[in-house]
């Protein structure tokens, strides 16, 4: 078939039709030409399946307002994959239900969108485990790749009367309702769980705390700075852009050990005597019906980026620690995490 394109076949068939009766090619010549044409057409259908898709308009969906962890996660993809695609990656904000609106969209009208990835965190996995996304769960998305790992943080305004975690816990132990706390999620969400495990470390009933739910970390930070809440249970990574502004202070990181700069001076809850840790995975998923070609193209893009110094520097600058997982291995790992979280949620009485 080398050198024989579709235009050539069409030309030869047209030429055959133009021969006067009695001067058409012999049966052998005719059959040879028809066999070539049939082979070409068959090859065309096999080589270019109808469902083949390419990533030509990369987009990252941040399922919350700007300024929170989902925003941070999308910025990592936007900057880290810059050399992997021909065009720039767009970041689209889609607030609503801490990811509920986004997962619904990608299970209704954009299930096979080859261009879009959606940012998620351990909080999203918890929502899947506890049924907060309604009928949509871990099997209704195709997990793609990780951005890195993060940890929970206990955050106050710079002028807060709570200078240390000990100050805050003393007030909460005396009266859990005396402090207004909040985060980017409702009761039972990941951020609520951070506050709950900290209180439970001192046998304080989490149900007695005053908790305000926001739609994402960006809104919660605005609530803290605006005085609507006194303590924000967020993530260390969210604080990178606020380092040096003098607006907020981190009382403690919910990590097993101290984190590298710029948070090396932040104590952990563990070292301060509170048995509270909350590790966070940040990553991306796609619609469950996306083609294997598009999925593989994204996987290869992430794998190529993982191997660069630029990616490692970007992840560090965003306040995350490295975690490089992609493809089917990553998809299986996230689904196992959802199963484990479902078990934790049952123990906490969040689900039956």
> What pLDDT, on a 0 to 100 scale, did the predictor assign at position 1?
39
Asked whether 114 and 143 are in contact (CB, 8 A), the reply is no
101-127 confidence digits (pLDDT tens): 999 999 999 999 999 999 999 989 999
Asked if pLDDT for residue 294 goes beyond 90, the answer is: yes
The pLDDT, as a whole number, for residue 319 is 83
Helix (H) or strand (E) holding 316: helix 309-317
- 226 pLDDT tier (thresholds 50, 70, 90): very high
Q: Categorize the per-residue pLDDT at 262 as very low, low, confident or very high, splitting at 50, 70 and 90.
A: confident
Distance of CA 156 to the CA centre of its chain: 26
CB under 8 Å to 256, separation ≥6 — which residues? 268, 270, 277
Q: How many CB atoms lie within 10 A of CB 276?
A: 22
pLDDT digits (tens, 9 = 90+) for 207-219: 899 999 998 888 9
pLDDT digits (tens, 9 = 90+) for 35-48: 444 443 333 333 33
145-150 average pLDDT score: 96
What pLDDT score does 351 carry? 84
CA distance 145 to 282: 9
Please tell me the predicted confidence (pLDDT) of residue 14.
40
pLDDT reading at 278 higher than 60: yes
Give me the percent of the chain exceeding a pLDDT of 70.
85
Place of tokens 């700007």: 66
Lowest mean pLDDT among 14-23, 57-66, 129-138: 14-23
Task: Kindly report, residue by residue over 315-337, the tens digit of the pLDDT.
Answer: 998 889 899 999 999 999 999 99
Provide the pLDDT confidence category of residue 53 given band limits of 50, 70 and 90. Answer: low
Give the relative orientation of helices 190-200 and 122-130 as an angle to the nearest 10 degrees: 90
Cα–Cα distance for residue pair 232/157, rounded to 1 Å: 9
pLDDT for res 149: 93
Q: Could you tell me the pLDDT band of residue 346, with boundaries at 50, 70 and 90? A: confident
Residues 175-202 have a mean pLDDT of 91
Please, how many CA atoms are within 13 Å of residue 272, restricted to the half-sphere of its CB?
Answer: 24
Q: Which residues contact 146 (CB under 8 A, 6 or more apart)?
A: 281, 282, 283, 284, 323, 324, 325, 326, 330
Q: Does the pLDDT at position 277 exceed 70?
A: yes
Average pLDDT over residues 305-311: 96
> What are the CB-based long-range contacts (under 8 Å, 24+) for 219-224?
219/64, 219/65, 219/68, 219/184, 220/68, 220/182, 220/183, 220/184, 220/191, 221/67, 221/68, 221/248, 222/67, 223/182, 224/155, 224/156, 224/157, 224/182, 224/248
The answer to which of 107-121, 150-164, 183-197, 328-342 has the lowest mean pLDDT is 183-197
Over the stretch 165-174, which tens digit does the pLDDT of each residue have?
Answer: 999 999 999 9
116 CB contacts (<8 Å, ≥6 apart)?
59, 60, 61, 106, 110, 286, 287
Q: What is the mean pLDDT of the chain?
A: 85
pLDDT value at residue 176? 94
């Amino acid at each position: 078939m080398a050198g024989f394109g579709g235009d050539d076949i069409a030309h030869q068939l047209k030429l055959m039709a133009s021969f006067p009766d009695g001067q058409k090619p012999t049966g052998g010549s005719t059959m040879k030409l028809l066999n070539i044409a049939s082979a070409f057409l068959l090859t065309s259908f096999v080589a270019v399946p109808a469902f083949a898709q390419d990533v030509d308009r990369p987009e990252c969906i941040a399922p919350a307002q700007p300024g929170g962890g989902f925003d941070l996660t999308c910025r990592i993809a936007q900057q880290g994959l810059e050399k992997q695609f021909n065009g720039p990656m767009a970041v689209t904000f889609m607030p609503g239900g801490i990811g509920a609106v986004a997962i619904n969209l990608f299970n209704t009208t954009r299930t096979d969108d080859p261009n879009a990835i959606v940012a998620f965190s351990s909080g999203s996995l918890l929502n899947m485990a506890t049924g907060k996304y309604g009928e949509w769960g871990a099997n209704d998305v195709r997990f793609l790749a990780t951005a890195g790992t993060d940890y929970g943080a206990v955050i106050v305004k710079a002028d807060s009367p709570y200078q240390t975690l000990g100050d805050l816990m003393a007030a909460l132990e005396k009266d859990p309702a005396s402090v207004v706390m909040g985060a980017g999620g409702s009761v039972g969400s990941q951020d609520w769980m951070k506050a709950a495990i900290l209180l439970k470390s001192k046998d304080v009933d989490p149900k007695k705390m005053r908790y305000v739910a926001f739609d994402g970390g960006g809104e919660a930070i605005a609530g803290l700075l605006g005085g609507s809440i006194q303590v924000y249970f967020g993530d260390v990574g969210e604080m990178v852009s606020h380092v040096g502004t003098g607006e907020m202070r981190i009382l403690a990181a919910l990590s097993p050990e101290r984190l590298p700069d710029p948070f090396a001076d932040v104590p952990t809850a563990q070292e301060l005597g509170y048995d509270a840790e909350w590790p966070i995975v940040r990553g991306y998923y796609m619609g469950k019906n996306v083609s294997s070609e598009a999925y593989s193209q994204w996987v290869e893009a992430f794998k190529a980026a993982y191997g660069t110094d630029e990616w490692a520097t970007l992840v560090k600058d965003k306040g995350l620690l490295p975690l490089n997982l992609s493809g089917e291995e990553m998809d299986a790992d996230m689904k196992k995490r959802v199963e484990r979280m479902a078990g934790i949620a049952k123990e906490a009485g969040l689900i039956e």
